[in-house]
Every structure is written in structure tokens, then in C-alpha cells.
Amino acid sequence: GGDGTMRGASLIAEEARRRQLKMSVVGIPKTVDNDIPIIDKSFGFETAVEAAQDAINSAVTETQSFPRGVGIVQLMGRLSGFIAMHATLGSRDVDCVLIPEVAFTLNGDDGLLEFLADKLEESDKVILVVAEGAGQFDAGDDDSERDASGNKILKDIGVTIKEEVASYFNADAAKAHGPRRGPVNIKYIDPTYMVRSVASNAADNIYCTTLAHSAVHGAFAGLSNFCVGPINSRHTYIPLSLVAQRTNVVDVTSSMWGDVLFSTGQPAFGGLGANDDPDICDVYSDTTYGGCTVDIGR
């Protein structure tokens, strides 16, 4: 399972040890968000990226079929923008991607809406990908804004941006500010259940088998309270205590995020990110997934 499952497994393992039970508790990383810390990637992530690309391709087709088309695709990713980042790089048709690790502003000369206006003038269409956790820096500040599991209750950022775009580009705005603020054709796609419910691809099937074998070998060796997974392509056993209190986020100082900015051409939007401090990461991954591990309480 994901980070919540790993925290639960760690508690079960500690209680089993306290009771001196003859049992082994092993965590297998399975979350499409790819937010399990320390390891290179989680099972299900690559499949989710493929499914997300299908949604982006549909948005591209829709926006190309209408004048001044704006395609908005909201993808999974509460704390980590890996699906949005990788799907954007795999598509090459995305003009802007918003992830939880990087803040953005909507208005102003350096804001998102003006960037969209520039893109519409340039190519008569624009594709925006947004992770569900983007723009959530004021969410969950008190207990009333958290669910029963303690997770932040997120605002629907995709719908919010859709409404802001519709308010910014319309006939009244065109009269006041010129044709660049004229009406647009918005195509909004939220493929959450398509992304999370598809059958795993070949790469994930092979990876899952490797994780299962590693877990069984560790349990038969008498180990417990650990998680299996590759670190820099080497399969390892990691204490659950190290996994349970951390999360994996996009390293915005990595070359991969630099590739995203080069591909989309998007600016910084004048916002400061949750992960723009080069010293915030506890563990860096040397793989091509562009992640780093941080404490959950960051």
C-alpha cells in the first residue's frame, strides 16, 4: 500500500514485537502517486503515467478542434507531482504543469492567466496539466479541514482554475482589455478513476513480482518491520520506521524538473514552492524519477 499503509504496518509490527508474536510484517510499496520515500519508484506508478497520457492526448484533440481551446487535465497527486510531471514529459504537448511542490500565482503579469493568454495568442490553444495537490498551501491549517484519517481536505483545484479561466477570458473582458482576453473554449478532464483503475502494464507486472519475491525472502530470513524496494536500482530492505514518517516529493532542483520547464516553457509564476530549498531533502534519488525524501511534517 501507500504511506498510510506503511504507517499502519509499522504500528502492527511494533505491537507484534511487544506481544512476542511469531509473525513477520513486510511492507510492499504500492501507490500510483509514487510518494513512498527513499525507494526509486512505487508499483503502479508507470501504469498511472500511461493512463494519464491518454487523458492528455484526449485534451489535445479536443482543444485542437475548437478556436481558442483551453484543455485542463487534473491528475492524481496530493503531496507529490510525479504523475503530472512524468505524463507532461511523455506527452510533449503540455504548455504548463502545476504540481504541489511549486507554488503559483493566478493574476498579475507573471501569473498563470497571463501566461495562458500569451499561449493562446501564439498557437490558439493551450494545454494545462494540474496535480490535485497543487495550489493547496492554505488547506488543512486546522482540524476542521482534515478528514478522519488526518489528511488535508483539498479544494478542487482543477475546477477552481477552470472557473478562473472562464472569468478571465470572456466577452466583457475582451471589450475592456482587447481580443487577447476574449472568450475561450474550455475542455476540462478529470481522469482520476481511469488512472487508478486500469490493469497494470508489463513493466509494473514484472516489478510487482520482484517486490513480492523480495518480501518473501526477507520474511523467511526471519526479518520483520521492513519495507522492500529499490534504492538507486538495488533492491533493499528498509526499516518501516524510516518510511512511515517521510514522503517522496519532486526534487525541483533536479535535472528532470529542469527538463519539464524546458519542455513547457512555463515561468515560475512569482510563487515560492514547498520544495525549492536545496537543503530540504533528506535522501536524493540518483535515478531518472526526479524525487527526494522529506519529513512529513515539513
Catalytic residues: 33
Whole-angstrom distance between the N-terminal and C-terminal Cα of the chain?
22
Which one-letter DSSP state was computed for residue 199?
Answer: P
Asked if 180 and 117 count as a contact pair (C-beta separation under 8 A), the reply is yes
Residues 6+ apart with CB under 8 A from 28: 1, 43, 211, 212, 215, 227, 228
- Which three-class secondary structure state does DSSP give residue 127? strand
Query: For the chain, how many helices (H) and strands (E)?
Result: 10, 10
Phi, psi of 75 (to 5 degrees): -115, 165
Q: At what angle do helices 157-168 and 112-123 cross, to 10 degrees?
A: 60
State the DSSP string of 152-182. B----HHHHHHHHHHHHSSHHHHHHH-GGGS
CA gap 60, 118 in Å, rounded = 18
Residue 124's identity, in one-letter code, is D
Which one-letter DSSP state was computed for residue 146?
Answer: B
Nearest CA among 197, 169, 190, 168 for reference residue 73: 190
Neighbours of 30 (CB within 10 A): 17
Asked if 53 and 87 count as a contact pair (C-beta separation under 8 A), the reply is yes
